[in-house]
C-alpha cells in the first residue's frame, strides 16, 4: 500500500512540475528562426529542394550498415577465451558469411561502383 501512495505522489509532483514549466516558460511560437525548417544558415524559401547525389547517399547507408556489423564483431573477439572453440568458430564463420554475402550482393548490384 505504501508503494501505491509513493507512486501517486511521484506522479502528482511530476505533473505539477510539468504544468509549472509550461506556465513559466518564455517560449515564443512566432519566432522566424524557430518556424524555419532548416537551422543551418540559409533561407529555405529561396530553394526548398536542393539536389543531392542519391548514389552518395546509398554509399553512405552501405557504409553505416557495414560499420555497425564491424561493431558487432568486437564481442565475438572477446568471447574467444570464454566459450568453446568449435561453437565460437561456427558462430564467427556464420557471421562472416553473412557479411561476405551482403558485400557480394552489393557488388553484384553495382552499388560499390562510384561511376554509373
Q: What is the pLDDT along the chain (116 residues), one digit of tens a residue?
A: 889 999 999 999 999 999 998 888 776 566 666 665 655 555 555 555 666 677 777 788 888 887 888 888 888 888 878 888 898 889 889 988 988 898 888 888 887 776 65
Domain boundaries, the chain: 2-108
Grid coordinates given for 45: 524559401
What is the SS3 assignment for 19? helix
pTM more than 0.75 = no
The whole-angstrom separation of Cα 35 and Cα 69 is: 38
| Sign of the dihedral defined by the CA atoms of residues 71, 72, 75, 80, in that order | negative
Q: Decide: residue 62, CB within 10 A, 0-12 exposed, 13-18 middle, 19+ buried.
A: middle
Amino acid at each position: 500500500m505504501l508503494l501505491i501512495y509513493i507512486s501517486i505522489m511521484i506522479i502528482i509532483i511530476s505533473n505539477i512540475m510539468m504544468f509549472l514549466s509550461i506556465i513559466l516558460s518564455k517560449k515564443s511560437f512566432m519566432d522566424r528562426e524557430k518556424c524555419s525548417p532548416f537551422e543551418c544558415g540559409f533561407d529555405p524559401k529561396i530553394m526548398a529542394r536542393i539536389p543531392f547525389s542519391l548514389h552518395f547517399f546509398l554509399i553512405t547507408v552501405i557504409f553505416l550498415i557495414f560499420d555497425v556489423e564491424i561493431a558487432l564483431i568486437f564481442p565475438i573477439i572477446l568471447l574467444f577465451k570464454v566459450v568453446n572453440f568449435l561453437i565460437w568458430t561456427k558462430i564467427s564463420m556464420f557471421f562472416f558469411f553473412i557479411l561476405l554475402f551482403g558485400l557480394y550482393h552489393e557488388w553484384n548490384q553495382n552499388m560499390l561502383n562510384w561511376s554509373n
